[in-house]
A and B are shown apart, each in its own frame.
Chain A
């Protein structure tokens, strides 16, 4: 029976539409995955020389052992965000004469086959082989590695349970943020060194196999915690995605001042906060606000005169990431209900205008929120102003114009991590002109007349773009109208 279920699962993955529809992107994502894992493996290979030569720690093993806790805290966090819950196919099996416990075992088992579960092996495997084996021998090295991997696997089951139990609840969010804060803050501030506190656990694994047995018990316990919870709640409405509307039914009141286009922008806003994929993009916008912290106070980017040119790039991202990300899939967001807009009087025109409004609004919001960066100097504020103007004057038009090239349908309810549904080759290629455009204006002026002239040029070009906004948006709307039959028939295809 299990073999049949496995066969079905493989068929499902192979035939999943996003895979079949664009094999090229499937291959691309596959290689990205391989590359990422490869990098992690490389990191594992150089880990011991990194610790010894660059960080100049004598006792690499002791150091790694006291760092392991942070690795696992990090693992908790990335698993929380990336790991998918294996509940999707429950509905098609529950009514069949299969024991529920078998189905759940199978679901949990298939969730285990994931690249996330070999990361700890890739990173610490080489270290165990190259550093611990020569000093302690094969036995302790393999026991140590087993202990590390088992801990990582317990986290796998723990996160499956935790996400299902607490997702979208206040406790869950609080717990995640506390973990984040602890992992980032504690060691940095030197208040209490948690890592050193946990270090003996793994040091002990070098001397005795006892921790392995304890951790094995932990893996089994966490598996059964997970299993018991899923088995208990194997009902359609409980394990499915819970939609919570408490904050999702707010209107953005000011938008209604813009007539039909404003109403469309309002609808679009609801679309964004009520779907997982788009919500992630909005979150990304907030995260990118912090992006500047990496650059602006980094000595590597300080120059004696003026500012580093890479700040233009940073500014573009801070004020425009939402537009760049969300705009890439311009019409695909509306693909499930595109016929609705076609059917409305002036609907498509208003849809396009509404999107412009929304992009401008969110871009403006990002700009306002980024004002505190003035702390790092007035240059930063000027850069943000120039890139903001350039973004809404030029980049926005570019994004939208490029996005109209062969839009693809997509399912909004799927997660957005590594989900390339709706992305075609065009969406990947789009990024090049988008990043190049600000520099194309900035560099020549900066070269001939100085950095600030470059910024001024960007602002002027941006303002000019804002002035001709009406004309451009009308021409885009007309292009959509012209192609509406092709677009809507492309969207009507089954996903």
Chain B
């Protein structure tokens, strides 16, 4: 599904990201962990062609993201609030997206129905602009928007941050359900080790832009990650 070849991002003299090669197959739940400044968000931004890579390329289904734009219909993403149109109410935002994705109203309603529990009655019909929602609720809007339009891959940057515990559990269920039902590939960066270990099939550990661990064995993940992150 997604393939990275010789990717480098260099600011001035410092290399902030250096990934020689990485292949993410379809319907994998891919976790990305690492301390602050490890390059998680930069990697996601380059994958979405929001930031220009210094060297190398990112391929989505054999299409270079910086060359073509066909991949945009296959990839949904929510990285930060800037991706939303914060001057709209959530309903208006979803409607705007519906038109951009060429969906019918019914499609949109079906999609939003999946999020009824997750939204917990605090998003729709509240007559508030997105910019006036709380951080957690803004995140919920972004996640629902990222999943709109049946994307084949979804990138989420710290999706559990700012969510209350119940919403975190609901989100995990949503992700697993989408993955099983529609073969969606998920790329999730997070600081919450328990959550990523629980839902991800594979976890990559970044340190200062380098991939230092690529864990595919579910049973060994917890031990390996705890060993890395435990500082004394």
Contacts and interface: CB of A to CB of B under 8 A. Distances in A.
Interface of A: 1, 4, 8, 11-12, 15-16, 89, 91-92, 94-100, 235-238, 494
A106 to B, nearest CB: 12
B51 A235 contact: yes
Nearest to B11: A237
Nearest to B46: A235
A237 B51 contact: yes
Given A92-B85, A100-B69, A8 B96 contact: yes
Contact of B100 (A1, A94, A235, A238): A1
Contacts of A89: 85
| Interface residue range, chain B | 20 to 34
A95 B76 CA distance: 8
Contacts of B101: 96-97
B49 interface: yes
Contact of A97 (B79, B92, B100, B129): B100
A396 to B, nearest CB: 37
Contacts of A97: 69, 72-73, 100-101, 149
8 contacts: A92-B84, A95-B72, A97-B69, A97-B73, A97-B101, A235-B51, A235-B52, A237-B51
Interface in B97-120: 97, 99-101
Given A11-B87, A94-B50, A235-B52, A4 B72 contact: no
B52 A494 contact: no
Contacts of A494: 131-132
A105 to B, nearest CB: 14
Q: Which of B52, B86, B129 has the most CB of A within 10 A?
A: B52
Contacts of B52: 235, 237-238
A95 B60 CA distance: 14
B22 to A, nearest CB: 20
A18 to B, nearest CB: 12
The A interface, classified by DSSP as helix, strand, loop or mixed, is helix
Contact of A95 (B50, B85, B87, B96): B50
Contact of A235 (B50, B92, B97): B50
Contacts of A15: 87, 129
Contacts of A238: 52
Contacts of B50: 91, 94-95, 235-236
Contacts of A95: 48, 50, 72, 77, 79, 83
Contacts of A236: 45, 50-51
B189 to A, nearest CB: 16
B85 A8 contact: yes
Contacts of B51: 235-237
A11 B85 CA distance: 10
A414 to B, nearest CB: 15
Nearest to B98: A4
A95 B84 CA distance: 10
Given A8-B85, A98-B72, A494-B132, 15 more contacts: A4-B100, A89-B85, A91-B50, A92-B83, A94-B49, A95-B48, A95-B50, A95-B77, A96-B101, A97-B69, A97-B100, A98-B100, A236-B45, A236-B50, A237-B52
B82 interface: yes
A80 B50 CA distance: 27
A100 B49 CA distance: 11
B197 interface: no
B225 interface: no
B70 to A, nearest CB: 9
Contacts of A98: 72, 100
A494 B134 CA distance: 11
Contacts of A1: 99-100
B4 interface: no
A89 B87 CA distance: 11
A96 B87 contact: no
A237 B132 CA distance: 26
